[in-house]
C-alpha cells in the first residue's frame, strides 16, 4: 500500500534559498474530488504524473502516483481540470537528514510559501530548520486542491481562508 507521511509548515523567511540544491516548475490540475479522494494531473519539470490521494489534512495519506508522458499530461490538464490550475516552483532543500520540498506558489496563490518534509514513519524525529514556521499539516486549507478552489489571494489579511472555504486538500 502506498502511503505518504508528510508534515507541512509555513516558512518564516527565504533563508532556505541558500541551501537549495535544485528546483522544478510544477503545473497541476484536479480532475476529480470526493470526500475520500483527490485526483490530479501534474507536470513536474519535464515529466507528467497522474496521482490519486486520500483526503487531506492528515499526517498519513494513501497516495498512488504514476508517471505518464508529459504531452499527455498537458492535454489532460487542458481537457479535464475542474478548477483553476496550481502553479509553483518546488525547491529541494536538504536539512537534518531530510530533503525538504519548499513550494513557492505563483498566480492566484502568489505570496504563499510552504515547506514539506516527507517522513518514513509517523513518529520519525524531524530536525526543524530556523526558516520553518507554524505547522499546517492538519489544516486542509493549505492543501493544493483547496488552494485551487480558494486561492491564497482571496484569504484575509490575517491569512484566514474565506469562511465558505473547502475543508479538503
Place of cell 473547502: 166
Give the catalytic positions in this structure. Answer: 30
Helix, strand, coil shares of the chain as percentages rounded to 5? 20, 45, 40
Q: How many residues does the chain have?
A: 169
Output the nine-digit C-alpha cell for 159. 491569512
The H-or-E segment that residue 70 falls in is: helix 70-80
Rg (CA), the chain: 15
Please classify residue 43 by burial: count the beta carbons closer than 10 Å to its beta carbon, then call 0-12 exposed, 13-18 middle and 19+ buried: buried
| Separation between Cα atoms, residue 142 and residue 162, nearest integer Å | 12
Amino acid at each position: 500500500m502506498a502511503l505518504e507521511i508528510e508534515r507541512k509548515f509555513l516558512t518564516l523567511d527565504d533563508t532556505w534559498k541558500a541551501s537549495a540544491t535544485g528546483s522544478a516548475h510544477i503545473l497541476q490540475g484536479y480532475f476529480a474530488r470526493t470526500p475520500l479522494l483527490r485526483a490530479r494531473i501534474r507536470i513536474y519539470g519535464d515529466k507528467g504524473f497522474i496521482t490519486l490521494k486520500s483526503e487531506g489534512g492528515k499526517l498519513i495519506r494513501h497516495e498512488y502516483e504514476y508517471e505518464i508522458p508529459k504531452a499527455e499530461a498537458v492535454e489532460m490538464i487542458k481537457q479535464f481540470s475542474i478548477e483553476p490550475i496550481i502553479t509553483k516552483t518546488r525547491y529541494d532543500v536538504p536539512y537534518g537528514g531530510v530533503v525538504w520540498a519548499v513550494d513557492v506558489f505563483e498566480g492566484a496563490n502568489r505570496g504563499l510559501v510552504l515547506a514539506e518534509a516527507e517522513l518514513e514513519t509517523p513518529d520519525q524525529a524531524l530536525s526543524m530548520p530556523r526558516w520553518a514556521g507554524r505547522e499546517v499539516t492538519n489544516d486542509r486549507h493549505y492543501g493544493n486542491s483547496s488552494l485551487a478552489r480558494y486561492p491564497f489571494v482571496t484569504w484575509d489579511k490575517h491569512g484566514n481562508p474565506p469562511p465558505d472555504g473547502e475543508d479538503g486538500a
